[in-house]
Amino acid sequence: MKRAIMWSGILAAAIAGGCATTADRAAYDAKATATIQRDFHARGIATMDRLKQDELQLACTRYRDHPPEDVLERLEAQQRATIRLPADGVLSGDWKRGAALAESGRGMSWSDKPGTPSGGSCYNCHELAPQQTSFGTMGPSLRRFGKLRGYTAEVQKYAYERIYNSKAFAPCSAMPRFGTSGTLTEQQIKDLVAYLTDPESPVNK
């Protein structure tokens, strides 16, 4: 999710006034933690566990998204181990469902009921298809994703794994771990893979 981004932003703001020592940063980190825990409150499905950083998020916060190579390799290996490919061996679903999912930003907020399907919010960060009226640029353009890479099983597998847990490829990536976190279901990820890799999808036109 976006916890690492939030924490990095808080710390960056705290030390923006000048150079900080390791002790200074630890103090700022503790102060930021205390402030967040004081001011954030559980509401609906948005519980306080969202404030807890796991080992990867702590490392990205500590090293300001640039961990040393040995730490980076260890984190990538840990994240790769979390990826679960479909037991049926099918990696692609329905590109039309994938298109709707990619343009949906709903889900995971305090006002959603438990069990409500989440959207992919892909448009927030990626250009995807010609008919989009707006899109974010935090992530790379995905236009012609399959057309450029090929309509192969290997490309489908790469897309599935990247959506499931992008941090297995770039630990401090801003892209959420959609599969690992349970934000998207296996079928939803398959449908997004189809949206990216089906030759009939508007992404590839």
Please write the tens of the pLDDT for every residue from 96-137: 999 999 999 988 888 888 888 999 999 999 999 999 989 999
Amino acid at 81: A
- Say if CB 196 and CB 159 are below 8 A apart: yes
Top pLDDT among 32 and 58 is at 58
Mean pLDDT in residue range 93-97: 98
Q: Would you say residue 17 has pLDDT above 60? A: no
Dihedral pair phi/psi, residue 36, rounded to 5°? -65, -45
What are the b/e assignments for 60-79, b being 16+ CB within 10 Å? bbbeebebeeebbeebbeeb
Q: Which fold has domain 95-204?
A: Cytochrome Bc1 Complex; Chain D, domain 2 (1.10.760)
For residue 43, give the 3-state DSSP assignment: strand
Scanning the structure block, which residue is given the tokens 């080992």? Answer: 55
When the pLDDT of each residue in the chain is averaged and rounded to a whole number, the result is 90
pLDDT tens digit sequence for 31-57: 888 898 898 889 988 888 888 899 999
- pLDDT score of 8 more than 90: no
Q: pLDDT at residue 10 above 70?
A: no
Whether the pLDDT of residue 147 is over 90: the answer is yes
pLDDT tier at 11, thresholds 50, 70, 90: low
Phi, psi of 16 (to 5 degrees): -65, -25
CB atoms inside a 10 Å sphere around CB 135 = 20
DSSP letter at 190?
Answer: H
The model's pLDDT over 158-205, given as tens digits with 9 standing for 90+, comes to: 999 999 999 999 999 999 999 999 999 999 999 999 999 999 999 999
Average pLDDT (139-152) is 97
State CA 94 to chain mean position distance. Answer: 22
Q: How many CB atoms lie within 10 A of CB 130?
A: 9
pLDDT attached to residue 45: 84
Looking at the chain, the domain(s) classified CATH 1.10.760.10 span: 95-204
Which stretch of DSSP H or E encloses residue 37?
helix 22-39
Let me know: does 190 contact 160? Beta carbons within 8 Å.
Answer: yes
The per-residue pLDDT for 6 is: 53
**Backbone phi, psi, residue 45, to 5°:** -80, -5
- The reported pLDDT for the residue numbered 9 is 57
Q: What's the CA gap between 102 and 90, in Å, rounded? A: 20
- pLDDT band, very low/low/confident/very high, at 12 (cuts 50, 70, 90): low
Rounded to whole angstroms, the Cα distance separating 169 from 53 reads: 19
